[in-house]
Amino acid sequence: MNKLKQTTSLSQRKVLSQQTRQAIRLLQLNTFDLEKEIDNLILENPLLEKNEEIESNYDVVSNVSALNSDPDDILKYHKKNETLQESLIRQSEMVSFSEDEKIISRIIIDCVNDNGYLTEDLNNIFLQANRSIEVSFQDIFYVLHTLQRFEPVGTCAIDLCDTLSIQLDNSYRDSPLYESAVDIIQYVKKIDITNNPGFDRIIAGLDKITRFDEKALELVRKLNPKPGLEVCKKLDSYQITPEVIIFKRDGRWITELTKSQPLVKLNADYVSLMNESKIKTDLDYLRKNYNEAKFIIKSIKNRSLTILNVCKEIFIRQAEFLRSGDIGMKPMTLKDIAESLGIHESTVSRATSNKYVQTPRGVYELKYFFTSELNTDTGKMISSKVIMKMIQECVKTERANKPMSDNEISKYFTTLGVSVARRTITKYREKLDIPSSTKRKRD
């Protein structure tokens, strides 16, 4: 029978504290996600509040002259954008609705999803409205009809055919193809779309039915099956907010944060309450949250400083990009930046992940500037981005009736002192979505 034995051993391992894990998490968040995280932290900690005094940390006049853009274009990055519901509410406040009609409009708007469709049937909307006020179905229909003509036209629709009919009636009522387009929409009503085959697939199927006018089908194809997404896509597009801006001042490139003030600050009322309170349980609660709040503010400041330092080092190395574009890109890795700043590679990775920088050449993700390297005959290293730019230039300048093959491009690069294998040319060409020479050939 085996005897049980108990032994002890010593070992060391790194255990990250909860605060350290939180600081790491804050560093890897982009601006949009950071703001959402801050909203959650404020709900959990009463000693935190938003700092509404967000100011730009750069000279707008110098910046505008460098970027050749309008100050409003830069400030757009800091504006909150409307949701579909907010857009409809704003428009409803501009029409002459009565107080009762305003209540009905709010109920209907609350039932609209991102695609622009109602999530409740009209009977339920009627019952909801009658809990607050006395209304008829005629009142409901009047408000609904008005909302459906707001921008984007066709929202608050009951189903696909409803939104198509609204858009058709609004935009193409006087078209000679109107009646034919109405027939097409009426036919779509008969199609079983419970399995959600998709609008394009439905119209493609109708192409095979010869009794439909091709021009009328093309007209219906122009209608938007999900009009609400016009607003939601705009909202998403503004979620890319540059953390850093690069501009020229007095002949020098300046790298600065787009927001200089911390996003959060201590709530002065609660700090005052903590200093005045004599009750131990209250004091313990406030002090605990006070320490956590200070750490969060410090972590956010450190996050901004780390991103700024990393970005400055990137553009010390990639200054030629600012002057010449992709053709001036230098090979650069996370390790290069980490060694220069004396920090870990993972910190550089988190500081650049999903973060954006505004340059005179446009807005780029910071990861864009990290590239692999290739040898040249002169012993210098060249960035893979430069190779791709050179391939694009070759394709632009080649003869249409005799495009350069990958092998010919490789040989041409060799004459420039850059040794790139044919298979590497092929890989980068495909990455750029450039067809092969046979497909590029034109008579």
pLDDT digits (tens, 9 = 90+) for 125-160: 999 899 889 999 999 999 999 999 998 999 999 988
The whole-angstrom separation of Cα 372 and Cα 386 is 10
Average pLDDT over residues 355-377: 78
Task: Tell me which DSSP letter residue 422 carries.
Answer: H
What is the reported pLDDT for 67? 38
Asked whether the beta carbons of 167 and 223 are under 8 A apart, the reply is yes
The HSE-up count of residue 225 (CA atoms within 13 Å, CB side) is 14
Kindly tell me if the per-residue pLDDT of 78 is higher than 50: no
**Range 401-438 burial, b when 16+ CB lie within 10 A, else e:** eebbbbebbbeebeeeebebeeebbbebbeeeebeebe
Kindly tell me if the per-residue pLDDT of 109 is higher than 90: yes
What is the reported pLDDT for 68? 40
122-132 and 99-110 helices cross at what angle (nearest 10)? 140
The percent of the chain in helix, strand and coil, each rounded to the nearest 5, is 55, 10, 35
Here the contacts of 229-232 (C-beta below 8 Å, separation 24 or greater) are: 229/114, 229/115, 229/116, 230/152, 231/82, 231/83, 231/84, 231/87, 231/152, 232/83, 232/84, 232/114
- At residue 73 the predicted structure's pLDDT band, cuts being 50, 70 and 90, is very low
Mean pLDDT of the chain: 80
- At residue 426 the predicted structure's pLDDT band, cuts being 50, 70 and 90, is confident
Burial of 352: CB neighbours in 10 Å, binned 0-12, 13-18, 19+: buried
Specify the residue for token string 């027939």: 183
What is the reported pLDDT for 105? 93
Kindly tell me if the per-residue pLDDT of 427 is higher than 70: yes
Residue 355, C-beta contacts closer than 8 angstroms, at least 6 positions apart: 30, 31, 243, 244, 307, 365, 366
Helices marked H in 119-266 = 122-132, 137-147, 160-171, 178-189, 199-206, 214-221, 229-237
Residue 198, C-beta contacts closer than 8 angstroms, at least 6 positions apart: none
- According to the per-residue pLDDT averaged within each range, which of 87-96, 137-146, 181-190, 377-386 is highest? 137-146
What is the reported pLDDT for 381? 59
User: By three-state DSSP, how is residue 414 classified?
Assistant: helix
Kindly tell me if the per-residue pLDDT of 383 is higher than 90: no
Q: Percent of the chain at pLDDT above 70?
A: 81
Which residues of the chain are in CATH 1.10.10.60 domains? 372-440
Average pLDDT over residues 345-362: 88
The whole-angstrom separation of Cα 286 and Cα 271 is 8
Kindly tell me if the per-residue pLDDT of 65 is higher than 50: no
pLDDT tens string 157-179? 998 899 999 999 988 888 899 99
- At residue 59 the predicted structure's pLDDT band, cuts being 50, 70 and 90, is very low
Q: From 2.130.10.10, 1.10.10.60, 3.20.20.450, 3.60.150.10, which CATH number describes the 372-440 domain?
A: 1.10.10.60
What is the reported pLDDT for 306? 93
pTM above 0.95, yes or no: no
What is the reported pLDDT for 11? 65
What is the reported pLDDT for 197? 58
Q: Tell me the one-letter amino acid at 417.
A: G
Alpha-carbon distances of 59 from 35, 245, 301, 304, rounded to whole Å: 24, 11, 21, 19
Residues facing 117 on adjacent strands:
157
What is the reported pLDDT for 408? 84
* Displacement of CA 103 from its chain's centroid (Å): 34
pLDDT tens string 179-235? 988 988 888 887 765 555 566 677 766 666 667 788 888 888 889 988 988 886 655
| Top-confidence residue, 66 or 284 | 284
Kindly tell me if the per-residue pLDDT of 420 is higher than 50: yes
Kindly tell me if the per-residue pLDDT of 64 is higher than 50: no
Q: Percent of the chain at pLDDT above 90?
A: 21
